[in-house]
Amino acid sequence: MGDVRLMKGNEVIAEAAIRCGCDGYFGYPITPQSEIMETLMIRRPEEETGMVVLQAESEVAAINMVYGGASCGKKVMTSSSSPGISLKAEGITYLAGAELPALIVNIVRGGPGLGTIQPAQSDYFQAVKGGGHGDYKLIVLAPASVQEMNDFVDLGFELSFKYLNPAMILSDGVIGQMMEKVELADYKPRWTDEEIEKISGSWATNGKKAGSERNISTSLDLDSAKQEVFNHKLQAKYRAMEENDVRYEKFECDDAEYLFVAYGSSARICQKSVELAREKGIKVGLLRPITLFPYPTKQIQEMLGQVKGILSVEMSAGQMVEDVRLAVNGKVPVEHFGRYGGIIPTPEEVVEALEEKILGK
Amino acid sequence: MTATTEINNIISEENLVYKKTSVLLDNEMHYCPGCTHGVIHKVIAEVIEEMDIQDKTIGVSPVGCSVLAYNYLDIDWQQAAHGRAPALATATARLMPDKYVFTYQGDGDLASIGCAEIIHACNRGENIVVVFVNNAIYGMTGGQMAPTTLDGQVTATSPYGRDCGSTGAPMKISEMVSLLPGTRFVTRQSAETAGAVRKLKKAIRKGFENTREKKGLSFIEIVGTCSSGWKLSPTQSNEWMKENMFPYYPLGTLKDE
């Protein structure tokens, strides 16, 4: 068993990065995630593991530093919160277009615009449907605990190198600021040059080897025919993610007649709502998508034989509910309940919404 | 003796005074006649060969006419988003401190959209070489006004001549970055004559030598031509450059520490 600590979600992201052998972090301060870079600066990982930590001049520069580092075959990451992620959107689509692995952490706050510094889940569309231009997808992991903040750093890198695609941890100010017990991962050494050569030698721009072709990290192809073929390749990769890497969790679903679908903080709230509803005799379960892309569409569809209605609960005006409705395709009623602008719903409110919108009471 | 036989007799190792560097690939260049990019590419390629650093050099290409620079030099390349090359180079140089990292950027890329990235990379003194090609115009998008466009210069977006009262004055980037402690070598060169090309090559070599000695950032501006954008012949372009560009962007080394 690894070190067990009481830590903030944001601090754990930093600790997990050091321990998983991350080569570089490039960030820019923004509330409510600044503790990630602050923790890294205090820890001085360059002296411990050789990990580079740099405060960039902007979110734009930070994500482009990630592009440069990722192009070298290194494990690199950045973190930010909603307005900062909008600035990073350009770099993120370039990463996807150049098929580069990288980890982006988004500790979501309420919007639009400068919005608020309080937690929200109103960046689901941005994370899952695009954000930047072009037909691309991110691997999106949604932690619901401080433990998962730890676990998903390593998992995010693993998946991003598996598919050569950027991955995002889509968390929020609740999980980022909350302190919980966490079992930290054991240290993994950073990859050596030889390991990088073995893993990424066919594409990494770390110096042209004698006798082999030069590597070029680019998202450009002016030939439309080739660009279409490349897009087919990307789409095939996204379908493979859907086939092989959907992650989800079910809670009290065996006898459920109704279903909550919720991720991250909302899923934590819904766990309590399940208990409260069951005390009232309402048999409701919770399906928690862990990967928001690839989305657990099939797993929702498998519930349709047993549930009479679904409530999608999000701290947004209704974003993920669209994916629930696409999965359900009209077979049972699907409604949305959300609080937003930085307001966190109570478990009681969620039960009331279930009764009103789904049970029709 | 036919003319061909005569030439073949001359082509021999002992008579060889010049050959194309193998770092420069044989791909047909897309640049317009009279463009300075081709000469600058060749000079960089020669320096890489002469310093024997082909396996250790990573180029970062911009958005602009030289976006496809990676087609011409046989080294590893990263293609950056518009203006962001210094950010890519920052991470690359920090993560692989034994490599030689350079950015290749035009005036729209470096002086306009990438102004923040270049100023901060210079200020941090990243151990990289910046090759800044200033031809006072956006070439690839069809000849629009750049931050370095001269007062009164006609472009697609300043059709009545640049009005500095409204658009600001042409930016002297080399002078600006020379004020930052992070830059160690700042020079402004050109490539319109054999002599200028030789000087340019010395400057680029010095830049890469500074990288080897971990001295920090070397900034090499090259005042160049854009015949298509300026709507002049290659010969007229060189004359126009000498008459108009050189007085405002004087050649020479601003800083060498």
Rounded to an integer, the average pLDDT of A263-272 is 98
- Taking alpha carbons only, the member of A8, A342, A340 closest to residue A175 is A8
Instruction: Give CA–CA dist A126/A115, Å, rounded.
Output: 15
Instruction: Give CA–CA dist A270/A261, Å, rounded.
Output: 9
A199 within a domain of the structure (yes/no): no
Instruction: Determine contact, residues A78/A104, Cβ cutoff 8 Å.
Output: yes
Count of Cβ atoms closer than 10 Å to residue B152 Cβ: 12
Q: Yes or no: is domain B30-256 CATH 3.40.190.10?
A: no
- Which pLDDT value is given to residue A62? 98
A232 within a domain of the structure (yes/no): no
Residue-wise pLDDT tens digits, B175-188: 999 999 999 999 99
- Which pLDDT value is given to residue A1? 62
Residue-wise pLDDT tens digits, B89-127: 999 999 999 999 999 999 999 999 999 999 999 999 999
A226 within a domain of the structure (yes/no): no
CB contact under 8 A, A66 and B91: yes
- Which pLDDT value is given to residue B1? 60
> B70 contacts in A (CB within 8 Å)?
214, 216, 218
Instruction: Determine contact, residues A348/A324, Cβ cutoff 8 Å.
Output: no
Q: Is A207 on the interface with B (CB under 8 A)?
A: yes
- Taking alpha carbons only, the member of A318, A323, A317 closest to residue A292 is A323
A167 within a domain of the structure (yes/no): yes
**How sure is the predictor about B84, in pLDDT bands with cuts at 50, 70 and 90?**
very high
Q: Is B30 on the interface with A (CB under 8 A)?
A: no
Single residue among A183, A211, A238 that ends a domain in this structure:
A183
Rg, chain A, Cα only: 21
The total of structural domains in chain A comes to 2
Comparing CB atoms, the residue among B58, B67, B95 nearest residue A24 is B95
Percent of chain A with pLDDT over 70: 99
Q: Is the pLDDT of residue B2 over 90?
A: no
Residue-wise pLDDT tens digits, B23-70: 999 999 999 999 999 999 999 999 999 999 999 999 999 999 999 999
> Which value does ipTM take for this structure?
0.96
A36 within a domain of the structure (yes/no): yes
Comparing CB atoms, the residue among A58, A210, A214 nearest residue B76 is A214
Chains A, B: CB pairs < 8 Å: 121
Comparing CB atoms, the residue among A23, A57, A217 nearest residue B79 is A217
- Which pLDDT value is given to residue B27? 95
Comparing CB atoms, the residue among A61, A72, A98 nearest residue B92 is A72
Percent of chain A with pLDDT over 90: 98
Q: Is the pLDDT of residue A361 over 80?
A: no
Instruction: Determine contact, residues B31/B186, Cβ cutoff 8 Å.
Output: no
Instruction: Give CA–CA dist B152/B162, Å, rounded.
Output: 4
- Supply the mean pLDDT for chain A: 97
The verdict on A125 and A273 lying in the same domain is no
Higher pLDDT, B17 or B174: B174
CB contact under 8 A, B56 and A207: yes
Question: Residue A103: how many CA atoms within 13 Å on its side-chain side?
Answer: 28
A203 within a domain of the structure (yes/no): no
Percent of chain B with pLDDT over 70: 100
Q: Tokens representing A266?
A: 């909302």
Q: Is the pLDDT of residue A272 over 70?
A: yes
Single residue among A183, A209, A230 that ends a domain in this structure:
A183
pTM of the model: 0.96
Q: Is A288 on the interface with B (CB under 8 A)?
A: no
Rounded to an integer, the average pLDDT of A298-310 is 97
- Which pLDDT value is given to residue A245? 98
**How sure is the predictor about A130, in pLDDT bands with cuts at 50, 70 and 90?**
confident
The verdict on A171 and A54 lying in the same domain is yes
The verdict on A26 and A102 lying in the same domain is yes
CB contact under 8 A, A205 and B76: yes
- Which pLDDT value is given to residue B7? 83
Q: Is the pLDDT of residue A204 over 70?
A: yes
> B79 contacts in A (CB within 8 Å)?
98, 216-220
- Which pLDDT value is given to residue A146? 98
Q: Tokens representing A343?
A: 């307001």
Instruction: Determine contact, residues B218/B210, Cβ cutoff 8 Å.
Output: yes
A197 within a domain of the structure (yes/no): no
Count of Cβ atoms closer than 10 Å to residue A299 Cβ: 18
The CATH number of residue A130's host domain is: 3.40.50.970
Single residue among A183, A204, A222 that ends a domain in this structure:
A183
Helix axes A146-163, A224-244, angle to 10 degrees: 140
A225 within a domain of the structure (yes/no): no
Could you list the residue range(s) of the whole structural domain that residue A287 is in? 249-358
Residue-by-residue DSSP string for A10-66: HHHHHHHHHHTT--EEEE---TT-THHHHHHHHH-HHHHT--EEEE-SSHHHHHHHH
The verdict on A151 and A287 lying in the same domain is no
Beta strand residue intervals within chain A, DSSP E: 4-8, 24-27, 52-55, 76-80, 102-108, 139-141, 166-172, 179-183, 216-217, 248-251, 258-261, 284-289, 291-293, 309-314, 334-338
